Structure 1
Amino acid sequence: MSRPQYPFSRLLTLGLLTLSLAACSTLGPHDPVRINLVGLEPLPAQGLEMRFAVKLRVQNPNDRAIDYNGVALDLQVNDQPLASGVSDQSGQVPRFGESVLSVPVSISALSVFRQAWGMAGNPPRQNLPYVLRGKLSNGWWGTERFSDTGVLSLPQPAPAP
């Protein structure tokens, strides 16, 4: 008659419990990443769409670095979708540090038409509200979602001589 393997199963259970607690401790509470839109630079157009490089300042207020290996974002202006973009760039935002990322976005002719239609009949505005949403990806547990709101200031026309 064989003896049950209770000591082995208890050791296995204790080991798995210890590993799971150690894994959970790395997922502890942390402050959200702060991401701000800091610039738009024109890129060469393709077909009927315009292209821009969206500059994002990523601030990490935590005591551990954030590694990322992909960025995705959507930009709304005047409560209308305007641009979206993705990038497979990778990098690291240092602990208590910041980095500036550049993400190429596309603006379709339809988005431009929607924006123009939304402004038709309204007095021209110099300041347009925007909402930026996206994520810094780093696998299943490392994705950092972000959102930023603000006002885009259009350049002032040059004064007439």
Structure 2
Amino acid sequence: MFSLFALLAAAVSSPNLTKPALPVMPSLTMTECENSKSRDARLAEIDADKSWTGSADRFNSEWQAYLAARMDKLGMSKTEQGKFLDDVTETKEFQALQAKNEAILTQMGKDFESIKDTESEEGACKTVVRMLGALTPMMQNATQQYELMDQAIIAEAKRRRVSLDN
């Protein structure tokens, strides 16, 4: 929890705050899974590369810090900020993206559970391909949700005649 507060504090004090970039997730192909030698080598590479581990969490934290810094510039109380963002999250567009991500997470959970019942390494590998392949679309949906929040912040800043640039 402390690190989140530190992140938010750093974001608020950063005058050049920029939107977070979508992290690059590792890829694995069905073809790589079909050959035991290439499968083992590729899985070892993915396992050795820790740079992507936690990148989705960092991405979300960076977006939250970015939006928090922009919200603070609006001069709203924390209660007003909460209501403001609740209004955005209740829109049809936001909810549709949320439903897509919930479906992705549900499928990932099923895939994860099915790995233990998979009788071959190739089959388990192909399940991992599907799971890894779902990470980027899920983060793209989240990005669209964050963009909806940012657009609302921009509109409110214009309404209040507040600059978000400094």
TM-score bin, normalised by smaller chain: under 0.3
Structure whose alpha-carbon radius of gyration is higher: 1
Higher share of residues assigned strand: 1
Higher share of residues assigned helix: 2
Q: TM-score, structure 2 length as denominator?
A: 0.21
Q: TM-score, structure 1 length as denominator?
A: 0.21
